[in-house]
Amino acid sequence: MLTQGFLAALAILPVFSTADIPGNTPQVLPNGKYEIASEGIRAQFIPYAASITNLFIRDVHGVERDVVLGFDNATYYSISRLHPHLNGVPGRYANRIKNSTFAIDGKTYHVDANDNGGRDTLHGGSDGWDYRNWTVTAHTADSITFSLVDPDGKEGFPGEVTACVTYTLTPYQWHLRMKAISTTKKTPIMLSSHDYWNLDGFQNPSTCLALNHSLHMPYARQRIAIDGIAVPTGEILANEKYGLNDFWSAPKQLGANLTDPELLGNCGTNCEGYDNCYLTNREQLGPYDWSAAPVATLASAWSGIQLDIYTDQQALQMYTCNNMNGTFALKETQGFFNDPSRPRVSEKYGCVVIEVEDWIDGINNPQWGRDKRQIFGPADDPYVLQATYKFSLNHELATRSEQRHPKKCGPKEGETPCPGHGHDDSPDDYTDDYYTEGDFMEDPPPQPSY
């Protein structure tokens, strides 16, 4: 039975029109995936975790690349024991909750402690929102909407929450709209989109990794300090210019600091890489239009595919797939075939996750003043997350890369993967394909101090 809260959630959903694409009608594919499309972009989704499973963009070589990790068959998402929160909607509270506890109005709540041997909660618990089947409530040629009712007490969280997520494609863009209503009690709500990117579709003949991807987060001069198990300590750290976590002063490749001794421990004890929450801080500077400028730009010099991320959220969690160990299989739309030097798996650093969200564990750090963005009750406005992912081709970057690293092979006409040959990646491979600042913006925006 539909609850009043669920009906209210449906009522506040934005309305999107169907793109006028000749011959493009809503499709449910034989593998159980729902497909939508617009000019220059097509995507597939499943009800499990309201996940995106495939996202196809054509690159500078004229080849369509599937740029997100995933499984070929929709049913495998709920079967596989490899569950890296794959391209779904974590909830009802994304990221970690210290000691698996929080307090609202003086009452302490204990939620499912599913991480680090029971020392904290990750992405809403053992049966969080990205472990559940959502309901498809609308499906058009260019848009799909999923809904979920999360009952009072589930995973220890107070109150019922109803949620709706709408994904819409417009030419070369993917739009996300998430809304959630607490119908009975005050409760924490913080969502995200946990997407695993490789803008080469794992088909770069020179590397199977994403360390060649360049990242620019122009507002991210600060990050949240974490302890050895990646739980926030409450401290806000400065990202020093030219330092390990400087992605704001100019774009740089994800592997640029691969040999820096400080990389070990940057994301927790014995963690080597990035799994950090960077603050965008725009609201501290006054009114702003979140759709006017990207908070992050990810690009591959090989494919030339550039992704600009726009969002109304105040933080970005960036994770370089440090825990991938070569056991996660690629889809049929990715990687190489019949090449023993390139196993059809995602290796460590083979992808990157950029989660749009609010300040992690803000519910346990009242000094940050995040309650209005993270605690919601029946009398409050709904929780809202908005994001737009804009795709383009950076021909200048691809040309510079081609001049430095001539292709060993390339896709033939009508052939998706090129028969490349991998090599062992060395730090030098990630030091010469930087953008110049002029590729995106002349000067980084000003930042507030704390």
What's the half-sphere exposure (Cβ side, CA atoms, 13 Å) at 136? 17
Q: How far apart are the first and last CA of the chain?
A: 48
φ, ψ of residue 103 in degrees (nearest 5): -125, 140
Query: 160: buried, middle or exposed (CB in 10 Å: 19+, 13-18, 0-12)?
Result: buried
From residue 207, alpha-carbon distances to 343, 385, 401 in Å are 12, 34, 14
Give, in degrees to the nearest 5, the angle at Cα 390 between 13 and 399. Answer: 170
Q: Could you say which of 85, 123, 175, 194 is catalytic?
A: 194
> DSSP for 175-201?
EEEEEEEE-SS-EE-B-----EE-TTT
C-alpha torsion sign, points 288, 300, 33, 189: negative
Report the distance separating Cα 153 and Cα 211, nearest Å.
Answer: 41
At residue 70, what is the residue type?
G
Is 175 catalytic? The answer is no
Per DSSP (E only), the strands in 348-411 are 352-357, 375-376, 383-393
The DSSP bridge partners found for residue 238 are 222
Strand partners, 277: 317
- Pull the structure tokens for residue 404: 């430095």
Catalytic residue (one of 155, 347, 355, 357) = 355
Nearest to 283 by CA among 442, 445, 175, 93: 445
Task: Kindly state the helix (H) or strand (E) to which residue 6 belongs, with its residue range.
Answer: helix 4-11
Query: What tokens appear for 30 in the block?
Result: 């034989």
Specify whether the CB–CB gap between 61 and 69 falls below 8 A: no
Residues 331 and 71 sit within 8 Å (Cβ to Cβ) = yes
Task: Answer yes or no: 110 catalytic.
Answer: no
Active-site residues, by number, are: 194, 355
